[in-house]
């Protein structure tokens, strides 16, 4: 090798090293860019997944149609309406009570109408465990707390307030014998718009105790069994005795037989008997009454 070739060799080596170094840098840059792109894509996918997960419950909630029209009350009075869709008088036990401000109570849901969606209730009460007082299709969303702002009480001795309604659970019995430590029925007292409305469920005591009468106070509207089916503990004379103790201004039947209702009305000398699809009542209406009233909702 001549002297000129020897001088050029280091130059060529430096050029080769430089080219290799630049190529490596370019590869590293491309690799970093690819990695950053992958991270960015993953981040977007994760955000989309989280967003979908967050939206899912809301979408499911929106899929549940809530019926706020069936029990709409703009009368300025308390509204009481029968909810049971069955025409069998033995199933005549599910009632809605709606305050003048629109607070909705559903007592003992049974075969509740759902053609317009799930009825929106603020308060749901269940007097005892029998299935004709406990509609799973209606109750499950409430028990799962899927209905915002609702309060459920199932055969509980308790007192609570929701909006403008005060609720009290009073232990009772589905049979003649009553053991306060082991109640088989729960009377629910609703204090609404200055009225005291009592839903007795399937109470079948021979008579009310002093403790129960004290807890109930002066009842304006009672909803109780008008049945004489001994197999379930019911007796027409038990109903007469309980109503004589209570002396409510308005009596309404839960389970009933027409002939039993006639017997009870005759015994109590109730002459004012009406049928309607709804009852609108106020404190002033009750105070202006001169005698008992029997109202059958259908």
**153-172 tens-digit pLDDT:** 999 999 999 999 999 999 99
Residue 6, CA distances (Å) to 1, 12, 17, 38, 177 in order:
7, 11, 18, 49, 121
pLDDT tens digits, 208-228: 999 999 999 999 999 999 999
Residue 244 is encoded by which pair of tokens?
């004589």
More confident residue, 293 or 54: 293
Q: What is the mean pLDDT of residues 25-54?
A: 38
Residue 185, CA distances (Å) to 111, 205, 233, 274 in order:
20, 10, 12, 28
Chain-centre distance for alpha carbon 44: 40
pLDDT band at 63 (very low <50, low <70, confident <90, very high): low
pLDDT tens digits, 107-153: 999 999 999 999 999 999 999 999 999 999 999 999 999 999 999 99
Res 111: pLDDT = 94
- Residues 120 and 104: beta-carbon distance below 8 Å: yes
Is the pLDDT at 71 greater than 50? The verdict is: yes
Is the pLDDT at 103 greater than 60? The verdict is: yes
More confident residue, 283 or 27: 283
Enter the pTM of the model: 0.79
pLDDT tens digits, 226-278: 999 998 999 999 999 999 999 999 999 999 999 999 999 999 999 999 999 99
Residue 151 is encoded by which pair of tokens?
């309060």
Q: Which residues lie closer than 8 Å to 246 by C-beta, 6 or more apart?
A: 198, 208, 213, 216, 219, 222
Res 64: pLDDT = 81
Closest CA to 239 of 218, 220, 216, 262: 262
Is the pLDDT at 15 greater than 60? The verdict is: no
Helices (H), 145-235: 210-216
Looking at every residue in the chain, the average pLDDT score rounds to 85
The phi-psi region of residue 286 (left if phi > 0; otherwise alpha if psi is between -120 and 50; otherwise beta) is alpha
More confident residue, 171 or 32: 171
- Residues 94 and 199: beta-carbon distance below 8 Å: no
């Amino acid at each position: 090798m001549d002297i000129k070739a020897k001088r050029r060799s280091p130059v060529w080596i430096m050029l080769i090293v430089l080219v290799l170094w630049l190529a490596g840098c370019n590869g590293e840059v491309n690799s970093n860019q690819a990695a950053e792109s992958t991270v960015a894509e993953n981040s977007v996918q994760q955000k989309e997944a989280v967003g979908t997960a967050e939206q899912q419950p809301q979408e499911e909630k929106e899929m549940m149609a809530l019926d706020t029209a069936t029990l709409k009350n703009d009368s300025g009075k308390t509204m009481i309406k029968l909810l049971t869709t069955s025409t069998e008088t033995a199933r005549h036990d599910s009632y809605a009570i709606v305050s003048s401000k629109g607070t909705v109570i559903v007592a003992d849901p049974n075969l509740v109408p759902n053609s317009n969606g799930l009825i929106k209730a603020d308060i749901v009460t269940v007097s005892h465990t029998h299935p004709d007082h406990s509609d799973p299709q209606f109750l499950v969303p409430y028990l799962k707390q899927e209905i915002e702002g609702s309060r459920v009480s199932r055969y509980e001795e308790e007192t609570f307030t929701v909006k403008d309604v005060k609720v009290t659970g009073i232990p009772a019995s589905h049979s003649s014998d009553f053991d306060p430590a082991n109640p088989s029925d729960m009377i629910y007292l609703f204090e609404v718009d200055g009225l005291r409305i009592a839903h007795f469920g399937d109470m079948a005591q021979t008579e009310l105790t002093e403790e129960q009468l004290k807890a109930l106070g002066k009842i304006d509207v009672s909803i109780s069994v008008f049945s004489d089916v001994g197999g379930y503990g019911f007796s027409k004379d038990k109903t007469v005795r309980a109503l004589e103790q209570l002396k409510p201004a308005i009596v309404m039947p839960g389970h009933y037989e027409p002939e039993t209702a006639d017997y009870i009305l005759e015994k109590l000398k109730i002459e004012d008997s009406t049928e309607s699809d709804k009852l609108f009542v106020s404190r002033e209406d009750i105070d202006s009454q001169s005698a008992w009233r029997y109202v059958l909702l259908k």
